[in-house]
Structure 1
Amino acid sequence: MWKEHYSKIKKEKHPPAYTLRKALDFIASQDNITEKTAIDLGCGNGVDTFALLENGFSVFAIDSNPNSLLHLQQNLASEHSKLLKFNNVSFENLEKLPLAYLVNASFSLPFCHSNQFDKLWLNIIECIPPGGIFCGHFFGPQDSWNSNSDMTFHNIQDVKNLFDKFEILYFNEISKKGKTLSGKEKFWHVFHIVAKKKHLQKQ
């Protein structure tokens, strides 16, 4: 499946995820960001990783597929080589994440096994400092892949509960018939989110 996905991406020029573009627009409007660090969870073909690099971020890219690193290396601009680190690891085996101003997870978190999702999410929350940004996607219960027991699905209340420590900057729920990048028909039920971590309230 992923080999087909990469070859499809290579033939077509895809823009970065809309949620990442929204996050980058928000970040561009801020003037107090001193350290542009990002984690790209499930970086895949690297479209979002390259967008982050081009916007001046140092990026820690993570993907369980070793083909992902090969794709990044083949397409990486020489001036960005020192700004990119890569870890070939599954979400289920991911150790503690380094602090990062931005965590991007474009269509990747649902592929974490449901038994391990809470641990992964806690890891994500802890690595984002107050004022930092999360952008990404969650699959809803109506998604046609919902019978896959190796994946994680959330209803709208579940998603909102995940972001109790965040201010929601962008939220869009989409339910529609469509195709995967490899051209297969499916029903998409997806929550698109950009959120900013709240500062702790002083007692």
Structure 2
Amino acid sequence: MTSYKKIDQYNEEKTDEIAKDFREILANLGEDIAREGLLKTPERAAKAFQFLTHGYELDPLEILKSALFTEEHKQMVIVKNIEVYSMCEHHLLPFFGKVHVAYIPNGKIVGLSKIPRVVEAFSRRLQVQERLTDEIRDCVQEALQPLGVAVVMECQHMCMQMRGIQKQNSVTTTSSFNGAFEKDKTRKEFISLISNKLN
């Protein structure tokens, strides 16, 4: 009979150090860190937080630059309903939702999968939604130099729903526009397209 062995891709030294901190936190909360249910919790939490913040090890700009193509398309390109999961830097609690990203090409387009990858790279860090929205916009702008970029993000924040004000149905919406999207007509077209179900 062989025993199951899971192979994890984590920095062992970092995992050990973070796990020590979690053991101390659990003890300070009044828990018995020797009880069965908590024996592996510090290590699991250490690995979870490494995964939840692995965006620090990614370069969003290089992600976009790795798949740029010359194309004369001049109309709006939208990738919408991108799932986003991040961690509030104020309370270390999750916030999650969807983000919609658009740009108007100026001679260059990018492989469509790269935009969700950029969202992932920025969101897997300690964040506030407002900054995350701007970082995505600025990265697309720098990499493609398009005629304009638009980002709208809608998220639920566990720091509002699980603690504090405890309003379970609240949704926070942030937006960030530049270039052509600062014009009322273009911005309205973008909002209309992300609001309508085309399928």
What TM-score comes out, normalization by structure 2 length? Answer: 0.25
Structure richer in helix, relative to its length: 2
What TM-score comes out, normalization by structure 1 length? Answer: 0.24
